[in-house]
Amino acid sequence: MKKNLGLLAIAGLMTFACTENEDPSALDLDAPVIGFAENRDGFRPANNEVRATTTDHLHLRFSVSDESGIGSILVDIHNTFDGHTHGRIQSDFEALNVKDTYSPDASNAAFRFPEGATFHNVDGSTTDIYWDGPSSRVDGNVLAGPYDIIISAVDIHGNQTGYADGSNYLATFFIERPYAPVIEVSNLEDDELEGEPGEVLELSGRIAKGAHELSSDIKFIWIRLAEEHDDHHHGAGHRVMDETFYEKMWGQSTWRTNLSGPELPNVNELRFEDILSGEHAITLPTGEDHLDLIIWVEDINGNVTQKTYEVHAH
């Protein structure tokens, strides 16, 4: 009995010693949590947020927390014009490309947080990202179009957020500029297009070259009608293509080398009533009551204007 008690005591001491000497990093396998900023009910930029032609910057709004301590945070912004291939653009224009690292020893004071901090909040003007004016991140004129923002984080033990589990924040936002192509739809009802299943979708309005001194001729048009769904791995409400019911292109894309169509009938202005008539008319499918009409237009300078319109078929 005494022998057994002695063995138990030794075992207890060994367990205590192992616990005392155990590497704390082995106990923490959780990545940081990227959430809303304090007292906010959403991220900025929100998914599908449009930065209008009168806007010259983007406001960031998010927070990061980790019980062990935050190691670093990365804010990555890059264009999604091309599906990650590379098109040639005019030298006067440049895509917004940002890689801001937040850490205790960041070179930019606005990106620093205390060593061992378990929470960091980003919601102030010092972290705004500009594409025009004295604080601009581009040397020339920013290219208009869709951009992805990815916010990721790693803790002091090396646990990091990722794509697979949706713990990164990923959203697409749009930069509009006065020199980019113009898309105007004039027959919207409560911001939607209405139609009958099996019938031709009526679409009034135009695609046109911008009126700015930096505007250039239209080079490529891509029109799709598709059913879409939410993809929660790409930020709140990020939408991805599901099934395409209509697709038509004119011209040659600068950004997507595999996309092209017949020659554009006009490089300055095209009316939907003309280009979407006859064999090119859009017929609404049956059995689908919620669709999206996606219109993508490129100009010679590489600017992209994309508009998405909800289509209600009933």
- Give per-residue pLDDT as tens, 160-217: 999 999 999 999 999 999 999 999 999 999 999 999 999 999 999 999 999 999 999 9
Alpha helices by DSSP H, 2-80:
2-21, 24-27
Q: What is the pLDDT of residue 96?
A: 97
Asked if 25-175 and 182-313 have one fold, the answer is yes
Q: Which pTM does this prediction carry? A: 0.85
Residues 182-313: name the CATH superfamily.
Macroglobulin (MG2) domain (2.60.40.1930)
Q: What is the pLDDT of residue 21?
A: 53
239-251 vs 218-230, strand pairing mode? antiparallel
Q: How far is CA 204 from the centre of its chain?
A: 29
Q: What is the pLDDT of residue 43?
A: 98
Mean pLDDT of the chain: 88
Q: Structural domain boundaries of the chain?
A: 25-175, 182-313
Residue 11, helix vs strand vs coil? helix
Q: What is the pLDDT of residue 238?
A: 40
Of 1-5, 152-156, 171-175, give the lowest mean pLDDT range: 1-5
The length of the chain, given as a count of residues: 314
Q: What is the pLDDT of residue 90?
A: 56
**95 Cβ partners below 8 Å, 6+ apart?**
78, 79, 81, 89, 138, 142, 143, 145
Q: CATH for 25-175, among 3.30.460.20, 3.30.160.270, 3.30.43.10, 2.60.40.2550?
A: 2.60.40.2550
- Please provide the distance, in angstroms rounded to a whole number, between the alpha carbons at the two ends of the chain: 84
| Portion of the chain with pLDDT greater than 70, in percent | 84
- For 6-53, the pLDDT digits (tens) are 444 444 544 544 445 555 555 778 999 999 999 999 999 999 999 999
Which helix (H) or strand (E) is 272 found in, with range? helix 272-275
**DSSP character at residue 112:** -
Number of other CB atoms surrounding residue 113 within 10 Å: 18
Between residues 288 and 91, which one has the greater pLDDT?
288
Cβ pair 62, 170 in contact under 8 A: no
Between residues 230 and 49, which one has the greater pLDDT?
49
